[in-house]
Structure 1
């Protein structure tokens, strides 16, 4: 793109995001965008093929350090506000009375028992998986369901491709066109993506085929030819489903939905009480939730107070002054832990770090590192097991701590954490072994030996 075109684009970006620093500490403020020279691009991205680059556009954004704990924060915040939260239950069927949905029959994953949950209305936020309930979808509602899913894929690499996040055009796409690929430094490596593949069936098998994986490496290496990325560099594959439409051209990527859809099913075999939410962006999730509640309230002819969630801190986010909070944490822990470990604890647990500090004060042995890890302490495991509904080893290492987020943990780490879980949850030997096997299946086969 020309310098003028990019400059105008950045100007529009700044105008749209004029309030991006509203309510933030000064240390968290995002700078304005700017155009930079080709030489500046080369300094920022030393591994990038810059042979055809004449300059770049620089902008600033925020990165979620631990997306799994962000999801958990929404759930725990709902519980704190009075919601009953059930983990590891699966919907079996809806309860229908005179054509209206009045609850659910769910199955407890661990006990195998069915449980009836009565409700005045049901909101299904299962996204693409909600499309399985075709028997409850009328003609108009079906037209608003996704015709296709996009299987979204990011690769986690054990090499840092760039010191800053960047977007660059690739070559060698299946349709012969260039595509924009984003690369961001993450933990000790990089996250690269996102690739989108058409998916017609809604199921849990979202793994990449060998051909798809090879195409990913080919495109990465077209941007970073000197690095020669291979499968051995991939430590983790992130994948999920997004609502989409078919691509306009064969072999092109599916066209993602641009807007969230909230479907109030008042036709077909039911006359009300069931709402489907098909979201497209986590950044708009709070606003979507507010809109859904307003629609449910209208259906129930109930008045609800104005939403306060836009100004309510999430679980772990009760921090009024970030700089002061960090200073207090360092004062409490710096004699025993490194600055890097304290920073990681703050990023993962936020204001809940105070509970972890109290655990360490009561039992100094909990300040010790988890075996095989040089920045996670034993007190984290105790805190999580006591407060955060953890039932599996994958919960602990992937969805509560970040010990297994970047790559498959070492064997000694897995064994120790499995022992802690077994003691706390009274696992037998077979259950312990099954949890270890289930954890390892979360990683590419070549990365978890």
Structure 2
């Protein structure tokens, strides 16, 4: 069959193009950057196009099936949900009906519905309007509502992989939100089967992975797939997460915003998963899917240090903490530590107590530096460096101006601690058998 795939350069669109061509179909790729030609068609939903104009273009290209994969998580400059998700696709659908196109597939989103919460979300509401308009037309159609999609070119997957690679991972509340991710290759395979399926479709299909998992477990899968060690999980109150999302909307990214946070909080699972029936088998687990296509974070924070380099770095940190503790306890007057304590407001008995606490803490940190890096131990060292530096800078500002840089030198110390934290090996190696266990059909899609 001859199929037009709009959004062909995106995550879902590119996978659908590949799946259809692998099954012998002729595909016309529709995208904003393409020019009308034998295998491409210019498609820009931000530019109004009448149903008649679409009908002529579809007839000219002899299109039999239309697959609409255009979608945005948040509007970029010059874009809007109304045009990209609603008005533009509806113009195409009406043109397809006029042109006598056999079938139209629409990629929507899991969670779309007519309940008050969904209608209050611009992303979901704009998708629903296009879904309903398609269902009212005199042609065969299918609406696909997938859960979170991961795989090559997925912007959301790149964000999640980046968040998962951080040494401290923030979680909305405790990260108990339910998600059901599916691999884009399997979504594309299911769509290719729907293109080929005989008989009338006219149905809405909810598609998701094999089983629901928590948001925290999903990030843990991304982290394991990158071969990273343990992280420090930090629950964050939802009001603060929403404030961060508001700030993120001003950054040059199209993934994290208040709408996407609202979608996560709402949950992204289904009890009516049509994916197993469409594939004819159980969907691939996330561990297997990430073994087939490794996650691609927006910023790659992976660090590899040889055992010798790690021991050198950890040994130097341990020497710093232990030497500071020893010289402060052994020579409190000569080292000037009591004078520094007094400058910080700790004199007399309070100064001695502060000295004992500081020496004890530094000894513990020195011992921890020699042990296998674990998140809480690395975090404790980072907090100690920041605490000591801040206290000294506030009470002895001249140290920040000293040409020897006694406080500025703590910056490379923090950098070394961060590198060691990022280079910490995984407690359990990533399952190397996952790739072998992944269905061969998924890799061939």
TM-score, normalization by structure 2: 0.22
Larger-gyration structure (1/2): 2
Higher helix share: 2
TM-score, normalization by structure 1: 0.22
